Structure 1
Amino acid sequence: MSPMSPVNPVTTTAPARRGLSDFYENPSVPVASGTARSVRQARMLAAALGPATTDGPKTVLDVGCGDGTAAATAAPFLAGHRIVGVDWSQDALRRARTRLPYPVRGELTDGGLPFASAVADAVLFSEVIEHLVDPDAALDEIRRVLRPGGHLMLSTPNLAAWYNRALLLAGVQPVFSEVSLRAIHGRPGREVVGHLRLYTARALREFVAASGFEVVGLRGAPFHGVPRPLRPLDRLACAVPSAASILLLHARRT
């Protein structure tokens, strides 16, 4: 859930960069998301990769690994494959080292990931894209490190989640959206997590396809922050991904 490159070093001024850097290095800022989402995404990736073979393990990069929770959740489903966690935040990497054998620092800028081109078989990109100033550059860099036909497993909150549709009709700021890095204003919730962009299912499909990927499928996942009485309804909404809390997109590099 941690962002990889929260600023564009070419166009963003130094004061803004320092402010965002301080925000994402703050240990109190959440860097992991719900287990249900992680498990569903891991199962999708395991089905795409298949079991490890005698040809050797396949390489999975967890780009924006945060504290390593998502990769650790995925590991039992990816037995025999190699998972490498990558993050921009030094604080997140410090925590990830307790869960991952290969945490490394990298950024989602041109050449910012510390890997040669076409070396990865798959990239996990969990709850990251909504934090980025330049998501176009991020997908370009992910495409660079993926081999042709390699898998992208992307998850992000859904702007058009079932409850957000009702909130907008009532004139309330949608869940997941944020107008400040200091406090919550005008919407339900208590945590500020630094969301800069939000996607609908249609927008996400079109954006990823325009970035040089073939969209294989889109599924929904529940959100751990939904109030307990509404969680059964949130799970039911996953049957219609365009209305689900979380979007899980599977794409392949063309």
Structure 2
Amino acid sequence: MTRPPTGAARPPAGLRDFYENPAVPVASGPARSTRQAALLARALGPRRTGAPPATILDIGCGDGTAAATAAHLLGGHRLVGVDWSQDALRRARTRIPAAAPGELTAVRGELTDGGLPFATGSADAVLFSEVIEHLVDPDAAVDELHRILRPGGHLMLSTPNLAAWYNRGLLLAGIQPVFSEVSLRHIHGRPGTQVVGHLRLYTARALRAFLTAAGFDVIRLTGAPYHDVPRPLRPLDRAACHLPSLSSILLAHARRRTPHSPQDP
């Protein structure tokens, strides 16, 4: 994350202008991207001889950093970055390695009904890293991910945890939680100096219930540390990862439910 531009003549007119601003951060940390890619690589397993490559979509790819990191662990598969920001896509196309000569590796798409340029059931896996907390309509977005994934396809999602261990203490003290924002212009009432456009936040329980209701089976929910935790507190932040409900970041591995798979209660 980066500090918003100083000396700006006027604040962003809306969300689209906000994310087209080159000063707004559009990438999650490389450590988190590596962890997600490793989980997906294990889920996909080794590519069988003669089998076609899996189609993996990095939805909300930002500047392509996460996809470029993931590509090293997902070799042999087709990796495509998708974002709605033209500025982010320009940067992504310089980072995401081509899966095949002449093949597009970063394309524009929106998380609306039919807004992603992929056929129904055409994707084997979706990376959805640090995106859902920015969405006005997460229901429509996850419905669109469900559409493009094949039955049994993998969804690797990460998002900040509203109930992170330090946020519980901050709320008890009457302080706005870390990750939450009340303005796209300035920080009000919480620690930190960076405006990043968070609109929705989840606890581990809420995220599991949300994905289950959207037609996914949650295979695994784990925790990850947050890079901006003060250095003296980082050992505690790493320890909290062993209990995802307290961790800074939630990492969910879910699969699109097949017609014969039981629905979680």
TM-score normalised by length of structure 2: 0.88
1:187 corresponds to 2:190 = yes
Distance 1:147 1:131 in 2: 25
8 Å Cα contact 1:51-1:78 kept in structure 2: no
Which residue of structure 2 lines up, in the alignment, with residue 133 of structure 1?
Answer: 136
Higher share in helix: 1
Distance 2:115 2:66 in 1: 22
Q: Which moved more, 1:36-45 or 1:155-164?
A: 36-45
Distance 2:245 2:142 in 1: 22
Which residue of structure 1 lines up, in the alignment, with residue 23 of structure 2?
Answer: 28
Question: 2:18 corresponds to which letter in structure 1?
Answer: F
8 Å Cα contact 1:36-1:221 kept in structure 2: no
8 Å Cα contact 1:162-1:245 kept in structure 2: yes
Which residue of structure 1 lines up, in the alignment, with residue 244 of structure 2?
Answer: 241
Which residue of structure 2 lines up, in the alignment, with residue 203 of structure 1?
Answer: 206
Report the identity percentage.
Answer: 77
The one of 41, 45, 48 equivalent to 1:46 is 41
- Structural RMSD (CA): 1.2
Distance 2:222 2:118 in 1: 29
> Aligned-pair distance for 1:195?
0.2
1:82 corresponds to 2:85 = no
> Aligned-pair distance for 1:45?
0.6
Change (3 A) 1:116 1:18: farther
Q: Which residues of structure 2 form unaligned runs of 5+?
A: 2-11, 99-104, 258-265
Q: Which runs of 4+ in 1 moved over 2 A?
A: none
Distance 1:69 1:163 in 2: 28
Distance 2:37 2:237 in 1: 20
The one of 80, 91, 95 equivalent to 2:91 is 95
Which residue of structure 2 lines up, in the alignment, with residue 229 of structure 1?
Answer: 232
Within 5 A, what are the aligned runs for 1:139-218?
139-218=142-221
Which residue of structure 2 lines up, in the alignment, with residue 67 of structure 1?
Answer: 63
Q: Which residues of structure 1 form unaligned runs of 5+?
A: 2-16
**SS of 2:156 mapped into structure 1:** strand
Give the number of equivalent residue pairs.
239
**SS of 1:78 mapped into structure 2:** coil
Which residue of structure 2 lines up, in the alignment, with residue 12 of structure 1?
Answer: none
TM-score normalised by length of structure 1: 0.92
Distance 2:182 2:13 in 1: 19
Which residue of structure 2 lines up, in the alignment, with residue 4 of structure 1?
Answer: none
**SS of 1:77 mapped into structure 2:** coil
Distance 1:120 1:39 in 2: 20
The C-alpha deviation readout for 1:37-59, integer Å capped at 9, x for no partner, is 11111111111111222212101
Determine which structure has more spread, i.e. the larger CA radius of gyration: 2
